[in-house]
Amino acid sequence: MLIVQKFGGTSVGDLDRIANVAKRVSATKKEGNDVIVVVSAMSGETNKLVGYAENFSKNPSKAEMDMLLSSGERVTASLLSIALNEMGHKTVAMTGRKAGIITDDSHTKARIEEINPEVMRANIQEGRIIVVAGFQGVNYAGDITTLGRGGSDLSAVAIAGAIGADLCEIYTDVSGIYTTDPRIEPKAKKLDKISYDEMLELASLGAKVLQNRSVEMAKKLNVNLVTRTSFSNEEGTLITKEENIMEAPLVSGIALDRNQARISLIGVIDKPGIASDIFNRLAEAEVNIDVIIQNKAQDGTTNIDFTVPVAELNDAKSVVDAFVAKGDIKDDSYNENICKVSVVGVGMKSHAGVAARAFSTMAENNININMISTSEIKVSMVIDEKYAELAVRGLHATYELDK
């Protein structure tokens, strides 16, 4: 088999853990498999580098950030390759460029445009274990780009898809996908299987166990994806097509996203095209908008509230400031102390009342709901951040996910 194994930050968090990873990879190779390994930076390393840059600038150049942040993964890739080589394997460490990962120009959250796996293929043919530095690629001009936080998951899935691997294993610090973050609700249960769509919702709504774009890619390329722990041999969770799951539960999980901020636009001039104008400008600035609500104010203007990822707040503010300066918006305010809790399940498609039970749970816990958004398979609520854990545990109990 050709297997892609991705090891996250905690799994390569120190030299002993890298040695442990080397043993696991070596065993996989000795069983007769071809192996491509994708590694993250040591845990905490990327944040440390971000902090270094912030020491010099509130708004550092995104191209320079990519030069900086991509270095963490190169450290672990080369160390793991050296360790495996010492164990008697033929190995090669690769940057994103050498692995043939080409992206667009969107620094710090680049999208993969293509992967040219020829160099990887040739090295596999020669019996080498390939260790790829995750989270990075190059644009067509040859500049280093990174794939967004948590992006090593995407590197792994995209490589698995491009090279036609039989399996893509994501090794992390929990033994699979749980009904909610087990660090928030210790009663959370591990799922044996989950559909691509549900996993995509959970990941997009804040469950950082898999980067959302990696799940999107896995679904598109039909990658056999398994999440498991690097600390034991416990079986993990298979992420697969919905039809492979016999009995879809009503609700499969609760997600929490703390990295959201709320933007309130007060006194927006009421004329056709204004919303389109504002949101088009935000899109051009590559700000991802989530929940939106709009309502009429007394004086004939409107108020528009929406949420954005905290990391994109600065970009959003610049756009809004321009409208305030023009007089199209009277006032604006920002709140980072919010979070979004979401209930996800494909079973919702055919059952009524799921959302109502979520709202009742908030009421029972005296939690005020600020914003609501729903889709076929999820209900999201924006609430005060201080109630995050209470809300997650309450919802987990309401849908009996601990049973």
Q: List interacting residues with ligand ASP (CB under 6 A).
A: 8-9, 40-41, 46, 72, 134-135, 149-153
- Nearest approach in angstroms of CB 294 to ligand ASP is 34
Cβ closer to ligand ADP: 268 or 381? Answer: 381
Q: Tell which one of 72, 100, 137, 150 touches Mg ion (CB under 5 A).
A: 150
Under the binding rule (CB under 6 A), the answer on residue 218 touching ligand ADP is no
Establish how many alpha carbons lie within 13 A of residue 340's alpha carbon, considering only the half-sphere containing its beta carbon: 30
Cβ closer to ligand ASP: 48 or 386? Answer: 48
Cβ closer to ligand ASP: 45 or 328? Answer: 45
Cβ closer to ligand ASP: 150 or 267? Answer: 150
Cβ closer to Mg ion: 28 or 155? Answer: 155
Say which entry of ligand ADP, ligand ASP, Mg ion, none residue 209 contacts (CB below 5 to 8 A, set by partner kind).
ligand ADP
Cβ closer to ligand ADP: 40 or 103? Answer: 40
Establish how many alpha carbons lie within 13 A of residue 328's alpha carbon, considering only the half-sphere containing its beta carbon: 15
- What does the alpha-carbon distance between residue 6 and residue 37 come to, in Å, rounded to a whole number? 6
Residue nearest to ligand ADP (CB): 8
- Nearest approach in angstroms of CB 208 to ligand ASP is 9
Say which entry of ligand ADP, ligand ASP, Mg ion, none residue 253 contacts (CB below 5 to 8 A, set by partner kind).
ligand ADP
Say which entry of Mg ion, ligand ASP, ligand ADP, none residue 316 contacts (CB below 5 to 8 A, set by partner kind).
none
Q: Tell which one of 38, 131, 207, 282 touches ligand ADP (CB under 6 A).
A: 207
Cβ closer to Mg ion: 8 or 394? Answer: 8
SS (H, E, C) the chain: CEEEEEECCHHHCCHHHHHHHHHHHHHHHHCCCEEEEEECCCCCHHHHHHHHHHHHCCCCCHHHHHHHHCHHHHHHHHHHHHHHHHCCCCEEEECCCCCCEEECCCCCCCCEEEECCHHHHHHHHCCCEEEEECCEEECCCCCEEECCCCCHHHHHHHHHHHHCCCEEEEEECCCCCECCCCCCCCCCCECCEEEHHHHHHHHHCCCCCCCHHHHHHHHHHCCCEEEEECCCCCCCEEEECHHHCCCCCCCCEEEEECCEEEEEEEEECCCCCHHHHHHHHHHHCCCCCCCEEEEECCCCCEEEEEEEEHHHHHHHHHHHHHHHHHCCEEEEEEECCEEEEEEECHHHHHCCCHHHHHHHHHHHCCCCCCEEEEECCEEEEEEEHHHHHHHHHHHHHHCCCCC
Under the binding rule (CB under 6 A), the answer on residue 178 touching ligand ADP is yes
Point out which span in 76-84, 131-139, 143-151, 288-296 binds Mg ion (CB under 5 A).
143-151
Say which entry of Mg ion, ligand ADP, ligand ASP, none residue 72 contacts (CB below 5 to 8 A, set by partner kind).
ligand ASP
Cβ closer to ligand ASP: 72 or 309? Answer: 72
Strands 2-7 and 34-39: parallel
Q: List the interface residues with ligand ADP, window 128-157 (CB under 6 A).
A: 150
Point out which span in 6-14, 249-257, 279-287, 331-339 binds Mg ion (CB under 5 A).
6-14
- Nearest approach in angstroms of CB 73 to ligand ASP is 6
Q: List the interface residues with ligand ADP, window 252-291 (CB under 6 A).
A: 253
Chain contacts with ligand ADP (rule: CB under 6 A): 8-11, 40, 43, 150, 172-174, 177-178, 180-183, 202, 207-209, 253
